Structure formats: structure tokens, C-alpha cells
Amino acid sequence: MSIHEVFMPALSSTMTEGKIVSWVKSPGDKVEKGETVVVVESDKADMDVETFYEGFLAYIIVQAGETAPVGSAIAFIAETEAEIEQAKSLANSGSVAASATSSPEPIAAGTASSATPALASQNGSNHKEGRLVASPRARKLAKELKVDLTTLEGSGPHGRIVAEDVEALSNQGKQPTTAPVAPAAPVSTSAPAPPAPRTPAPTTVVAAVPGQVVALTTFQNAVVRNMVATISVPVFRVGYTITTDGLDKLYKQIKSKGVTMTALLAKAVAVTLQKHPLLNASYSDQGIVYHSDINISVAVAMDDGGLITPVLQNADAVDIYSLSRTWKSLVERARAKQLQPQEYNSGTFTLSNLGMFGVDKFDAILPPGQGSILAIGASRPQVVATPDGLFGVRQQMQVNITSDHRIIYGANAAAFLQDLAKLIETNPQSLTM
């Protein structure tokens, strides 16, 4: 007989603690292998946590709304109903506090006293071959829409069925083919629908009570840790002015097809990075890491505080229409805290845009693990001298790149910005090819 600890998992590479959003199961409930028992808020998203054990949820150590360090015990699962009381006694004896502060190493059955049940370690891998894995929201939606989950192929990690899969099948009104159902990308008012070319909708600001101290959210604490981590990195900044008349004209022509300005800018940066792999690289103690993919992170402010950077993966190779659809889906799921880790932690270069606030130019802070970030200001009409010696009015925006000076030098950044400006000013049409 044994009682298993459920540990707070590391849901991202930067996560140090997690917050319990809700317990899907209650003490005494039967649990199956691979079944979701709790929803955890990491530093980037809300994630379902499943168990590798079969038995009964015996005791909850960390209640909903509370936080716990990664690797600490958050609950006990008993293999039999008879062991539930033993788990409660174990928790009340003070062993819980000890297990919460120690690393999650296995405790062998032979080392436990006869009065104390053996504790097995780690939640384990719960994505077993042939097992139906679906999120709680997907199961609930399937029940409401009368969709048979066994006929679906999930689009989530490890083939997990997510709510979008159920919705897509329900909208089709027929069973899926052998190809996985792609996540739906509905357009909502919370997604960036810019009235001006490069301005996502402003984030809702929650009013604070004067004199009140408001605790930082998990997202905000993650931002704090990341920003502090960048202090030790030597950086430099280079600014450049880019004329956007051609890009603005192209955007007006194709925005009715669902193209966003964010996708156009990300595509332009990604294509330029093909010629400048050093700007897509990052520093490591072993040397310069040249990444095989060009993945563009784009900073998005969350409605309830904090910042997240959804990633447009392989942005240089994806067509602008698919890239725009992906971006709309990423933003919507980011604000619903439904992004998977690879959708926010795989970036190799970051864009930050404050043009929506009328900001002319600003400096962006370099994200940990990347070599460069590009700050984009507002595009404004400017009086400029033309090549024929006359004056004219041109739409121009100012961009400012922040780079890791350990691997990138001023000339490298300047050459990148020159080529980016050349692409946007003289050949923006190539972004649709």
C-alpha cells in the first residue's frame, strides 16, 4: 500500500512557484490515471495538472488561491479508500511541511516506518499511448454539445483534446477525418483590432483604490524576475527612422483578408533576420547560440496585469495570411491564459510596440535568453527633404533596437536596421509572397 504526493509541477522554464486556480477534484473523489485534478496558474498561463496515479484524492495541502514552490507537495492521493484517513493523519503530523520544503526525491517503501505509508514521488508522465486525454473544459463542452471525444484527434500537446477541437467538430456537424482538427481562431473584441495600422487595442486598466497596497499577480511577479535578470546584461541601443508609406498602402490593400499590421511587421523583421543570423542569436557560457528557427515574440499586455510574449514561430517561412490568423489566435488565447509553454517561451527575437499610445520612440528591455528586442514607435506624417531637393510629407516611424553587447556590436545592429528599412520602404509587396 502507498500514498502518493502530487507535486507542484514546473510548467515553464522560468516558473519558480505556482498558484492553485481551482481543484477539479474534491477530497474523497475517485481519480484515474491521466485525469485532471487541479488547475495551476504558472507565470504565463493556466494549465491543467493531471495525475499518473489511480486512487482517491485523500487530502489537499494547498488550497485554491494559495501558492506553492515548484516541486513542493500540494495534495495526497491514496490508492484505496482505507488509506484516506492515513493520508490525513500523515498531513496533520507535520510531514507535509517537511515534504513541501524538500526536493521531490523518491522515498522508498523500505525506508518508511511501519506506521507511515510509503510516499511515491512525482506526478509522472500522464500522456500514455492509447489513453484519452482532454482538458476539463473540453470534456464539459463535449457533454453539452453531445460530441463523442473518442472520435476526436486533439490539437494540444501530446494529442490532448482542447475546447477548440470540440467546437470545431460541432461547427462542422460531422466527424473529423484522420487529420487533427486545427484550433479555431475566433475574432473577439479582446483581440487586437487596430483602428490605426500598428495599434492593438489598449489594455483595460483596473482601477486601484488610493492608499491600497495590491499584491502582484503571478504574471507580474514573473515580469519582475525577468526584468531584474537583465540588469547584469551589457546592452546598447541603436535608433532608426523608417518611411512606412509603402507598408501602409499594402496594409490597406490586404487588411480585409484578415492581415494584421503586427503580422506584417513580424514578417518584415523575420525576413530581414535571414540575412542577419547574429541578431537572431543569443549568448551562452559556451558561446554564441545560433538558433535554427526564426521565432518572433511580440509583447502583449494582459488585462489583469503583467506581460506575455506570444511567439510567431518560423515567421520568415509562414505566409502572411496564415501568420495573421495565428497571431489573432495567440492573442485571444494569451488573454484567456490558454497558451501552451512552447507558444510563449520559444522566441528568438522580440518586438515591442507602443505606437498605439502615440509614443514616438522608447527603449525596450532585453528579454532573458534573447539577443535583441526591437521597440516600435508610432507612424506619423513628417515633412522631409526629397531626393530632388524639394519638400514632401512622408509617413515615418522610429524604431530602436536593444541588443546584447556580449555578442552583437553596433555595426551589426545598424546593418540589420538598414536592411529592415530597405525592405519596408522599397519592397513591402514581397511580404505577401
**Which residue has cell 490586404?**
254
Instruction: Calculate the CA 106 to chain-centre distance.
Output: 31
- Contact criterion met (CB below 8 Å) for 243 and 329: no
Phi, then psi, of 120 in degrees rounded to 5: -90, 155
C-alpha cell at 17: 512557484
**Which residue has cell 537572431?**
280
Residue 230's nearest CA partner among 167, 175, 282 is: 282
Q: How far is residue 397's CA from residue 361's CA, in Å, rounded to a whole number?
A: 8
E-state strands within 8-71:
17-23, 30-31, 36-41, 46-50, 55-60, 67-69
**Which residue has cell 476539463?**
136
- Contact criterion met (CB below 8 Å) for 270 and 316: yes
CB-CB neighbours of 380 under 10 Å? 14
Which of helix, strand or coil describes residue 3? strand
Phi, then psi, of 232 in degrees rounded to 5: -80, -5
Q: How far is residue 397's CA from residue 392's CA, in Å, rounded to a whole number?
A: 16
276 is catalytic: no
Task: Using DSSP bridges, classify how beta strands 349-353 and 296-298 pair: parallel, antiparallel or unpaired.
Answer: parallel
Q: Which residues are catalytic?
A: 405
